[in-house]
Chain A
Amino acid sequence: MEILVLAEHRRGELREISLEMLSKAKEIADKTSGEITAVLLGQGVKDFADTLANYANKVLLIEDPKLENFNAEAYQKVLSALIKERNPAMVMIGHTAFGMDLAPALAVELDLPLATDCMDLEIDGDSVFAIRQVYSGKVNVKVSFSGAKKCMVTMRASACQIAEDMKLGGAIETVDSPLTEDIDYKIFSGYEEAAAGEVDITQADILVGVGRGIGDPDNIPMIEELAEAIGGVVSCSRPVVDKKWLPKDRQVGTSGKTVKPKLYLAVGISGAFQHLAGMNGSDLIVAINKDPKAPIFAAAQYGIVADLFKVVPALKDKINELKGA
């Protein structure tokens, strides 16, 4: 069986999700005597093909100025032509901002069953099962494709480990772009960086991360006081930014910043996967949360299960006391 993996790149960089997916594809290929085909669409991306060739049995390279920047509509046209021709057993796409825009419409066009945001894939005989998280990450679901022989999956970023160089030495095959005209109904017009704030949280040695548990913007100063006492900077999880309680440049996580401080003190953060992916490289993680089942405790080395409104002021006082001693 052929496993077709769509490589992803952005602004001149091959994105890690590409190798994560190819590594997962190799596991499946080993169990099914399958072949891995990486598909690379873009313009001036030949270098990426060389990298991908180590992780795939074959690399299909389609270069076209119309594919220079990601455009789900253009990608869909190219991929649907390619998939119809090759008829792979599995199509693997990243559950990224690009993949989320592309995969569902492509699946409908090709009449393929689709499971998105997969953490893992299991193989049992001829059947593929997708493992996903549902209900705030508290529950896992095992999904099948109702007996279909072919399927499409999108894989969650950072969910699969990148294998050591797989040395597959795949051949790079250049394919002509099937795009004949410009897509004029959906046009990429540029990138925009999030505005830089007064502090760069990626440079801080100590971060006090605050989450939804803070409950009200009026409680943010309490966190700032703790951060000041401990000599750190305040960062936050997504809900705090969504509610405009702190600016976007303080957000840690896949859609915010990746941080690796010496200490990450998570306060009132439940620990959604997307947040953990942005901070699990920290040297020491300490979590304060009232829910003993919060996933943050699985990422932390130390935890306190308690009401943050009681612990945080006490901690601030203790730190000031010890500093003064």
Chain B
Amino acid sequence: MDIIVCVKRVPDTSEADVKIDGSGKNIDLEDLTFDINEWDNYAIEEAILIKEKVGGTVTAITMGPEESNEVLRRCMAKGADAAIRLTDDAFEGSDGYAIARILHSAIKDLSFDAVFLGAQAGDDGYGVVGPMLAEMLGLPHATLITKVDLEDGKVKVHRELEGGLEEVVDINLPAVLGIQTGINEPRYVSIMGIRKVAKKEIPVKGLADIGLSADDVGEAGSKTKIECMYIPEVGEVAEMIEGSPDEAAAKLAQILKEKGLMG
């Protein structure tokens, strides 16, 4: 089974103090740490688990600047056989649609049985690239996948629905699968592991290499446009219990006791 996995390098904002940059259309990325998108980390793991079970190849592909190589190398250290990086100044400002188009042009002539992606990305969270890519490739797709079982010429997947329910769907291969977090337990890679793949060549492809023109990508090729970003106003917030941790805990315990909320 040959699997292409689309991955993305994103800033980790879960515990960061996020600020809007001077353009008003993005956040200030300066002090943030970057890593592989959490969903993509599960997607690359799932592809490698399948390869380890049934053989085949895993190719990681990303769109991004040179810094994205670290994400690709991490994928290779985990077990991906090859990586491709798509980069071009013209790609800047691409929305999900334009990104799907770029990925489509880059992979449409490759041989594969499945394309895996994270169901969404932790930065902008549109969750559109996978199903859009599938439509462009003319392939069936499913997203929010929490289980993948290979069967003859198809996959049986579980999709996460709301309220703890899952649906089971059979999909013919080749297909595009959007992977949900929690599907597996992504392995860690050691510094040694990364060092081992440090010299592996990562082919780089630009606009002309994938046969697109500048009008197809970037802001020109996008169908949505960011007007502005802003930090939302927080409405009424909790009454903050002040003091040292011990004092605050004592006050809270007293409040809970008074409200009869104690076992």
Contacts and interface: CB of A to CB of B under 8 A. Distances in A.
Interface residues of A, number: 104
B160 to A, nearest CB: 6
B239 to A, nearest CB: 5
Contact of B164 (A187, A212, A248, A297): A248
**Main SS of the interface on chain A?**
mixed
A105 B131 contact: yes
A322 B168 CA distance: 50
Contact of B119 (A69, A100, A304): A100
B13 A135 contact: yes
Interface stretch (A44-52, A165-173, A254-262): A254-262
B185 interface: yes
A319 B256 contact: yes
Contact of A323 (B11, B132, B262): B262
Interface stretch (A26-34, A53-61, A82-90, A310-318): A310-318
Nearest to A146: B225
A302 B131 contact: no
Contacts of B126: 115-117
A73 B14 CA distance: 35
9 contacts: A71-B169, A136-B13, A136-B122, A141-B124, A146-B224, A257-B164, A303-B239, A311-B245, A311-B248
Given A70-B167, A104-B127, A306-B248, 9 more contacts: A100-B119, A104-B131, A129-B227, A139-B18, A146-B223, A148-B223, A192-B165, A319-B253, A319-B262
Interface of A: 10, 69-73, 96-98, 100-105, 107-109, 112-117, 129-130, 132-136, 138-146, 148, 157, 184-194, 206, 212, 229-232, 238-239, 241-244, 248-249, 251, 254-258, 262-263, 270, 284-287, 291, 293, 295, 297-307, 310-311, 314-315, 317-319, 321-323
Interface of B: 11, 13-15, 17-18, 20, 27, 96-97, 100, 119, 122-132, 134-136, 140-144, 156, 158-172, 181-182, 185, 222-232, 234-241, 245-246, 248-250, 252-257, 259, 261-263
